[in-house]
């Protein structure tokens, strides 16, 4: 194990129209770790994801991935540094088939199967297609390869989006509310799925509202409120922290010892 954390966020800040959306946030994430990023609505969780993946450029602060400064790396190249993400609202390509969506995930890899001008399904299956199909099968998704993603149920699309991110072979996976909109059984399945991903050595950074999922999936949590970090520690103790309780329930409730309905 190297001593350098895989992800290190240092004093990150960004404002939109004079409003500080992220204010001096710092945290680190070890290789192979599982960190939850939580906080009330509008706390800036998705904004952090957008800063990490380069959709927004920060006003101040730094982001390091594997010790390397990636502040000036354009969003397009960040996936090449080993960082892939999912989206709060599923953003699969509506006119691409299931397998094609996963093949898009391979695009950033230096060792991707097939060159830019190599046919992907000419005369039987090419390597890229075969690899994508294998990955889908491995993750237990059985759909017709050519099927349009828009016709599939929500839970399956959510999984396909995860598989697309995995196809990039990331070191760090950013998951934006992976369990949102899933029913109980689907959430169970997702948990097992994420456990397997984590066991294979992928580091997880998860934005999630479901505290049950957060506690069973992640060992550590960072809590944001109004763009500031108010807690950084074990998930087990999050719900006893006075600042966190105040953020979720308002100052009057902060004297209560435990609130089970946090988030």
- Rank residues 31 and 121 by Cβ distance to another protein and give the closer one: 121
- Rank residues 19 and 116 by Cβ distance to another protein and give the closer one: 116
Neighbouring residues of 262: CB distance < 8 A, sequence distance ≥ 6: 211, 238, 239, 244, 245, 248, 249
- Rank residues 39 and 170 by Cβ distance to another protein and give the closer one: 170
Residues near another protein (CB under 8 A) are 53-55, 75-80, 85, 87, 91, 93-97, 100, 103-105, 107-108, 114-122, 128, 142-144, 146-148, 151-153, 156, 164, 168
For residue 159, the minimal CB distance to another protein (Å) is: 11
Neighbouring residues of 243: CB distance < 8 A, sequence distance ≥ 6: 223, 225, 230, 231
DSSP strand pairing (68-69 vs 220-225) = unpaired
For residue 18, the minimal CB distance to another protein (Å) is: 15
For residue 201, the minimal CB distance to another protein (Å) is: 21
Q: Using CA atoms, how far apart are residues 202 and 219, in angstroms rounded to an integer?
A: 15
Could you tell me the two tokens for 240? 């006893």
Going by the DSSP 8-state scheme, the letter that residue 148 receives in this structure is B
For residue 236, the minimal CB distance to another protein (Å) is: 33
Q: Using CA atoms, how far apart are residues 226 and 34, in angstroms rounded to an integer?
A: 23
For residue 137, the minimal CB distance to another protein (Å) is: 13
- Rank residues 101 and 225 by Cβ distance to another protein and give the closer one: 101
For residue 20, the minimal CB distance to another protein (Å) is: 21
CB 204 within 8 A of CB 43: no
Q: Is 220 exposed, middle or buried (0-12, 13-18, 19+ CB in 10 A)?
A: middle
Count other C-beta atoms under 10 Å from residue 149's C-beta.
21
SS3 category, 48: helix
- Rank residues 54 and 227 by Cβ distance to another protein and give the closer one: 54
For residue 70, the minimal CB distance to another protein (Å) is: 14
Q: Using CA atoms, how far apart are residues 170 and 182, in angstroms rounded to an integer?
A: 24
- Rank residues 76 and 252 by Cβ distance to another protein and give the closer one: 76
- Rank residues 95 and 252 by Cβ distance to another protein and give the closer one: 95
């Amino acid at each position: 194990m190297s001593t350098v954390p895989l992800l290190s966020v240092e004093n990150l800040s960004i404002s939109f129209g004079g409003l500080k959306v992220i204010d001096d946030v710092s945290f680190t994430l070890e290789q192979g770790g599982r960190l939850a990023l939580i906080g009330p609505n509008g706390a800036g969780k998705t904004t952090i994801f957008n800063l990490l993946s380069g959709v927004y450029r920060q006003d101040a602060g730094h982001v390091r991935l594997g010790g390397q400064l990636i502040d000036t790396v354009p969003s397009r190249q960040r996936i090449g540094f080993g960082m892939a993400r999912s989206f709060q609202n599923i953003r699969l390509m509506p006119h691409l088939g299931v397998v094609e969506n996963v093949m898009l995930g391979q695009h950033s890899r230096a060792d991707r199967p097939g060159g830019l001008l190599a046919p992907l399904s000419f005369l039987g299956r090419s390597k890229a297609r075969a690899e994508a199909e294998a990955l889908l099968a491995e993750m237990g998704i059985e759909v017709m390869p050519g099927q349009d993603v828009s016709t599939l149920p929500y839970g399956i699309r959510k999984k396909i989006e995860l598989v697309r991110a995995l196809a990039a072979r990331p070191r760090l996976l950013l998951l934006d509310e992976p369990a949102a909109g899933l029913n109980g059984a689907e959430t169970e399945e997702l948990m097992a799925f994420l456990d397997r991903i984590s066991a294979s050595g992928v580091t997880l950074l998860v934005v999630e509202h479901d505290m049950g999922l957060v506690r069973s999936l992640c060992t550590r949590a960072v809590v944001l409120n109004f763009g500031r970090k108010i807690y950084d520690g074990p998930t087990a103790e999050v719900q006893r922290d006075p600042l966190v309780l105040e953020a979720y329930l308002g100052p009057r409730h902060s004297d209560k010892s435990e609130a089970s309905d946090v988030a």
